[in-house]
Amino acid sequence: MTPLDLAFQRFDTYNQNDPNVFHWAGKDYPQEYFFAIQLYEWVLKLEPSASEALLLASRSQHIGRWEIARETYPEGRVGYLTWRKDLSLFHAKKANEILSEIGYEKEAIADVERIILKQKIKADHEVQTMENALCLVFLQFQYEAFHPKHSAEKVINILKKSLLKMDAHGHQFALQLSYSPEGLAYIQEALKLLA
């Protein structure tokens, strides 16, 4: 087994402990395990020659996410942003621990952490690929369940922010996904706001 395969095995085993269940295509999955696999698949679609660091980051981007609950932070934007920042640091630390145990060099681990922490987004191609993939996972697997629960204004605002984080390459893939008529209308409205 290669170090990459071993890392994937360790990441996947960790994420399979997620008590939250995601239901997809008639099956139940530990939520973060399911999303880690989908994120990895999207990275490969976006970047077939992805580096080892990018592949490792894709499988550990949200490792152990359930261990830091949103409810433990104050309501509102500041609480949300603090939670997201703390989560990112937690994911990077957890990935670092596992990769160190496997025997990855410090420089290689630093590359994985840079992607997980989304440093230099828009300027760093690998970080941008990860951001595209994250947004595509949301659009493919979560968006249609999300938008009916919220106001049109909120949905369009969230889509606008997501689409702004993506680049033209990511937008191409986003527009090829299958949406309900209402879901597609919101995406088209958000895209108009970017024009």
Note the pLDDT of residue 192.
87
Q: Are 19 and 100 in the same domain? A: yes
In the chain, the number of structural domains is 2
Q: Are 177 and 95 in the same domain? A: no
Q: Are 44 and 125 in the same domain? A: yes
Residues spanned by the domain of 161: 145-195
Note the pLDDT of residue 135.
95
Between the two ends of the chain, the Cα-to-Cα distance in Å is 48
* Cα separation, 126 vs 2, whole angstroms: 22
Q: Are 96 and 162 in the same domain? A: no
* Cα separation, 56 vs 131, whole angstroms: 15
Residue partners of 126: CB distance under 8 A and separation at least 6 = 47, 50, 51, 53, 54, 57, 114, 115
Q: Are 134 and 153 in the same domain? A: no
Residue at which a domain ends, from 122, 141, 160: 141
Note the pLDDT of residue 28.
98
Q: Are 96 and 126 in the same domain? A: yes
CATH number of domain containing 15? 1.10.3210
Q: Are 79 and 42 in the same domain? A: yes
Q: Are 128 and 161 in the same domain? A: no
Note the pLDDT of residue 193.
87
Q: What is the block-wise mean pLDDT of the chain (195 residues), using blocks of 10 residues?
A: 96 98 96 98 97 97 96 93 95 98 96 94 90 96 95 93 92 94 93 83
* DSSP bridge pairs for 30: 21
